[in-house]
Amino acid sequence: MTDAALADVDRFAARVRTISWFAAAGEPLLDSERAEVERYLERLGIAGMRVAPASDWIDAERIVRDPHWDRRWWHGEEEVRKALLARAAKDHEMGALISALTRVTNEATGTVLGMALIAALRSGTGHQAIAAAAAGAATQACYQAALAIAAGTGETHPFAVKRRLFEAGRWPLAAIEDAFYIL
């Protein structure tokens, strides 16, 4: 990989502020979004879960607080993240890679919290805690997507799929028992 991949990461960082974060949260899932969730789960190695929409931000808060979440989801993402970081570290000077990833997370941090708070308020809940959780998840998704870009993985990678879900205004919430929830 060349520095062109890091330039792509920078272009993604600039695009972060143009995404309609959480704009579709609570709306009925489209068939295409359901298919994206299924692709995401399959690529993390946890295919076969039922895709379950959260009805609103209050429902989302209940879901993210559920102590019975399926840790295979977190472990799957963490294994993918570690592999991507190792791959990207081979392709790029570590300082340049970290700088590019930091630009993305800084841009996300400065953008998504306000968008999450607005979306939560519009839905009838003004809980800052749920907005902060949503913003944290979106910022993490931006970091993951940037890492996938830096590693040159393409649009079929699970973090690219997750990025598209957020770009569609959704929030992938959690895997609990046999279901994966999305707002």
Q: Give the other-Cβ count within 10 Å of 78's Cβ.
A: 11
For residue 11, the tally of other CB atoms under 10 A from its CB is 10
pLDDT digits (tens, 9 = 90+) for 112-121: 999 999 998 8
What total number of domains does the chain contain? Answer: 1
- The model's pTM: 0.93
Q: Kindly give, in sequence order, each residue whose CB lies less than 8 Å from that of residue 62, ignoring residues fewer than 6 positions away.
A: none
Sorted by sequence, the CB contacts under 8 Å of residue 58 that are 6+ apart come out as: 123, 124, 125
- Residue 1's pLDDT is what? 42
The pLDDT of residue 132 is 94
User: For residue range 96-109, what is the model confidence (pLDDT) as tens digits?
Assistant: 999 999 999 999 99
Residue 125's pLDDT is what? 73
Q: Taking 80 as the threshold, does the pLDDT of residue 181 lie above it?
A: yes
The token pair at 180 is 């994966």
Residue type, 18: T
Average pLDDT value for the chain: 93
The string of pLDDT tens digits covering residues 129-148 is 999 999 999 999 999 999 99
Residue 127 has pLDDT above 90, yes or no: no
pLDDT band at 2 (very low <50, low <70, confident <90, very high): low
Task: Note down the domain range covering 54.
Answer: 3-182
Is the pLDDT at 168 greater than 60? The verdict is yes
pLDDT value for 151? 95
The answer to whether the CB of 57 falls within 8 A of the CB of 123 is: yes
Rounded to an integer, the average pLDDT of 28-54 is 96
- The vertex-23 CA angle with 150 and 10, nearest 5°, equals 20
Cβ-contact 183, 171 below 8 angstroms: yes
Q: What average pLDDT does this structure show over 151-174?
A: 96
The three-state secondary structure class of 50 is strand
